[in-house]
A and B are shown apart, each in its own frame.
Chain A
Amino acid sequence: MTMERQEKQRSFGFVAPALIWTCAFFIVPFVVMLLLSLAHLEGREIVQSFDLGNYVKIFTEPSLLKGIFVSLEITLTVTVISVLLAWPLAWIIATQVPERYQRLAIMLAVLPFWTSYVVRSYAWALVLGQNGVVMQSLIGIGILDEPIQIMATRGATVIGFVHFFVMLLTLTIYSNLIQLSPNYARAAADLGANGWNTFRLVILPLTLPGIMTGAFLTFVLCIGDYITPQILGGNNELTMPQLIMLQLGRRGDFPMASALSVVLMVLVTLAYAASSRWLKMERV
């Protein structure tokens, strides 16, 4: 056996566990899901027919098609709002908070992560309710005469999501910001740039990897989330994960659930393709 061959075998030995893991827990299940998405339901039985009927139905049946748009609208809204809130927060922590307190500030920022996801959503349901602390405070200080409806609306879903994802984005943007040398801002100032231009032309572009990494994670987690819209949205519009759960839990329509899942994966892949040029994990 030549040295080269031995070296190849040793390399494969190192890679094999990850390869087997990926095959067993991603590629094989995905292929099964893909095949199942080409089947269809007859009565209570699944018939493996290898046709695109489920996909045609997704894009022609209004209630299913609407699920795609609802998911995209909510996810994009959450992502944009979370970035707009997280960047200033991360910047304040990275540049205005003394270094010895930054760890504490970050810990406080991510404190809500320590709470169970379901509990946090139910807590928001109570906070946003007509008799909740937000509405009663607004009425108490005279801003509102009577409660307005937030709970069981898309707004409640967005608030619940933003609360969670601002923390995530703050982490990715903060870790990007603290790697930036202060000399970049000084050099820009030396060259005559004012504060706005320094931010717009120097700092912001340099934090794009942190922003895009956080935004991509937000997109992936948000578009695949079932709990938050289910608890806070009041079932008044269904996102794709809710539609998938309906197919699985109630209809027993595994082929349609698989087809919806494949469409969801395609959307995530498209989001990755759109943001991949900025996804530089080593910068985050």
Chain B
Amino acid sequence: MKFAIYSGMGGVAALLLSTAVVHAAGELNALVWCDHTDPELLEPFETAHDVRVNVKEYEGTAAGLAILNQSRPGDWDVMVIDTVDVGRAVDEGLLAPLPSDELPTSEFFPEVVMPDNNSRDGVTYAVTEKFGYNTIAFNSSKVDAADMQDMSSLWSGKYDGRIAIYDYYLPVLGLIGIEQGVATADLDSDAVEALRERTYALKAAALQVSDVVASQTALATGEVDILIGGGEWVTAVLSAENPELDWSVPSQGALRWSQSIAVLEGSESKDLAVEFVKYITGAEGQARLATSSCYWGMPANKAAGEALSDAQKGALRWDEQADYLARTQLYPVPDADLDLAMQDLWTDMLQQ
């Protein structure tokens, strides 16, 4: 007897959803990441279209797909999703085609348009809205910035006990692979297994393995001086109060994260949903999304630069994007078995 794993997860999701989704006229329901819940981001669109945007946060594509599977068609209009996972949602028939000629992708950083991920057979199903890096964040007043240009310095012993590891196996194992010369696209079960000792050694040098909030707290309070897996999404939002917090893309490279926005096939307000996508990917929406109170990140649309201050662009390393985009790789996209193998290694590492 087989049943989709999502049906199990759906028990929890259904409880959460039972009171959450009430679709009314003049409302848009958006399944989003935390950066889209900022009232300053939503308010201009709500005012311009005399509509209320109801947002629900989720983390991880699996959780987002589980919520959709437990919802009625039409409950949700818009979804934010990892760009590398857009194909999964297309495979499940969840996304509606977007009018590509109405989207401002010609103004985007070319590397983040990512048609291979956002389109299928020439049809655009999602559009990149924000990107950034999982790399090394550090306190520049306590760490030699030159060391942060070489990832191997993290294993040198010099920073033992002063390191936090971001508790997300995909980017961190991807980073360790890059440090070992393995491209994220080449990570298979053998390559992952070969990273075991290096991963354990990193854990031995680290003080803690922590989620976003705990990592930010540890870095901001001086508990640790280095965060592996961090980047502008950790330090930029703290830049005003903690200007010494910095980040680097080391010589070996780093990981690039990218999020897309899409309209759901079941939406009964597709026109309004498309307008929302156009607002989010337009210059004003992009600037607000880039500096959202939850986390900052680079806007996909270069035109947002006109709406950002020099200080904000400095925190995002606006002028260095060409170099960073050239030297960074996308997240690993493991199949189910490789995903479990990576998680097994991660659990073993935590228990070391």
Which chain A residues have a beta carbon within 8 Å of chain B's beta carbons?
A: 36, 41-48, 62-63, 66-67, 122, 125-126, 129-131, 149, 151-152, 231, 234-238, 243, 246, 249-252, 254
Chain A contacts for B343, CB-based, 8 A: 246, 250-251
The answer to whether A237 touches B351, judged by C-beta atoms less than 8 angstroms apart, is yes
B82 to chain A, nearest CB (A): 15
Interface string of B1-23 (1 = CB under 8 A from A): 11111001100000000000000
The answer to whether B347 touches A246, judged by C-beta atoms less than 8 angstroms apart, is yes
The answer to whether B4 touches A130, judged by C-beta atoms less than 8 angstroms apart, is no
Chain A contacts for B9, CB-based, 8 A: 252, 254
**Residue in chain B with minimal CB distance to A237:** B351
Q: How far, in whole Å, are A47 and B2 apart by their CA atoms in the complex? A: 5
**Residue in chain A with minimal CB distance to B337:** A43
The answer to whether B347 touches A63, judged by C-beta atoms less than 8 angstroms apart, is yes
A30 to chain B, nearest CB (A): 15
The answer to whether B4 touches A45, judged by C-beta atoms less than 8 angstroms apart, is yes
User: Within 8 Å of chain A (Cβ to Cβ): is B25?
Assistant: no
The answer to whether B351 touches A130, judged by C-beta atoms less than 8 angstroms apart, is no
User: Which of B1-55 touch A at CB < 8 Å?
Assistant: 1-5, 8-9
Q: How far, in whole Å, are A252 and B336 apart by their CA atoms in the complex? A: 11
Which chain B residues have a beta carbon within 8 Å of chain A's beta carbons?
A: 1-5, 8-9, 60, 62, 161, 167, 169, 207-210, 214, 217, 221-223, 336-337, 340, 343, 347-348, 350-351
Chain B contacts for A126, CB-based, 8 A: 217, 221
The answer to whether A238 touches B351, judged by C-beta atoms less than 8 angstroms apart, is yes
Most buried by B among A62, A125, A251: A251
Given contacts A151-B223, A234-B210, is CB(A41)–CB(B5) below 8 Å? yes
Contact of A234 among B1, B2, B209, B347 (CB under 8 A): B209
Given contacts A47-B1, A238-B350, is CB(A131)–CB(B336) below 8 Å? no
Contact of B208 among A235, A243, A251 (CB under 8 A): A235
The answer to whether B351 touches A67, judged by C-beta atoms less than 8 angstroms apart, is yes
**Residue in chain B with minimal CB distance to A48:** B1
Q: How far, in whole Å, are A250 and B60 apart by their CA atoms in the complex? A: 8
Chain A contacts for B62, CB-based, 8 A: 44, 252
Q: Which 5 A-B pairs have the closest CB atoms?
A: A234-B208, A235-B209, A43-B336, A152-B208, A63-B351
Chain B contacts for A63, CB-based, 8 A: 347-348, 350-351
Q: How far, in whole Å, are A252 and B65 apart by their CA atoms in the complex? A: 12
Chain B contacts for A152, CB-based, 8 A: 207-208, 223
Contact of A131 among B210, B214, B222, B348 (CB under 8 A): B222
The answer to whether B8 touches A46, judged by C-beta atoms less than 8 angstroms apart, is yes
Chain A contacts for B161, CB-based, 8 A: 149
The answer to whether B217 touches A125, judged by C-beta atoms less than 8 angstroms apart, is yes
The answer to whether B223 touches A131, judged by C-beta atoms less than 8 angstroms apart, is yes
Chain A contacts for B348, CB-based, 8 A: 62-63
Chain A contacts for B210, CB-based, 8 A: 234-235
Given contacts A149-B207, A152-B207, A252-B5, is CB(A231)–CB(B340) below 8 Å? no
Q: How far, in whole Å, are A35 and B337 apart by their CA atoms in the complex? A: 24
Most buried by B among A41, A44, A243: A44
Contact of B350 among A41, A43, A235 (CB under 8 A): A235
Chain B contacts for A237, CB-based, 8 A: 350-351
B172 to chain A, nearest CB (A): 12
Chain B contacts for A45, CB-based, 8 A: 2-5
Chain A contacts for B337, CB-based, 8 A: 43
Contact of A46 among B2, B209, B336, B347 (CB under 8 A): B2
Q: How far, in whole Å, are A63 and B348 apart by their CA atoms in the complex? A: 5
Q: How far, in whole Å, are A237 and B349 apart by their CA atoms in the complex? A: 9
A42 to chain B, nearest CB (A): 8
A-B contact pairs, 22 of them (CB 8 A): A36-B8, A44-B62, A44-B336, A45-B3, A46-B2, A47-B2, A66-B351, A125-B214, A126-B217, A129-B223, A131-B223, A149-B207, A151-B208, A234-B207, A234-B209, A234-B214, A235-B208, A237-B351, A238-B351, A246-B347, A249-B60, A252-B8
Q: How far, in whole Å, are A42 and B340 apart by their CA atoms in the complex? A: 10
Q: How far, in whole Å, are A129 and B348 apart by their CA atoms in the complex? A: 26
A278 to chain B, nearest CB (A): 34
Chain A contacts for B167, CB-based, 8 A: 235
A245 to chain B, nearest CB (A): 11
Chain B contacts for A129, CB-based, 8 A: 221-223
The answer to whether A130 touches B222, judged by C-beta atoms less than 8 angstroms apart, is yes
Chain B contacts for A130, CB-based, 8 A: 222-223
Chain B contacts for A254, CB-based, 8 A: 5, 8-9
Q: How far, in whole Å, are A254 and B350 apart by their CA atoms in the complex? A: 20
Q: How far, in whole Å, are A130 and B162 apart by their CA atoms in the complex? A: 11
Q: How far, in whole Å, are A125 and B221 apart by their CA atoms in the complex? A: 10
Chain B contacts for A243, CB-based, 8 A: 347
* With A42-B2, A234-B210 already in contact, 7 other A-B pairs whose C-beta atoms are closer than 8 Å: A46-B3, A48-B1, A62-B351, A129-B222, A130-B222, A235-B167, A249-B60
**Residue in chain B with minimal CB distance to A49:** B1
Chain A contacts for B4, CB-based, 8 A: 44-45
**Residue in chain B with minimal CB distance to A255:** B8
The answer to whether B5 touches A46, judged by C-beta atoms less than 8 angstroms apart, is yes
**Residue in chain A with minimal CB distance to B207:** A152
Q: How far, in whole Å, are A42 and B350 apart by their CA atoms in the complex? A: 24
Chain B contacts for A231, CB-based, 8 A: 214
Chain A contacts for B223, CB-based, 8 A: 129-131, 151-152
Chain B contacts for A46, CB-based, 8 A: 2-3, 5, 8
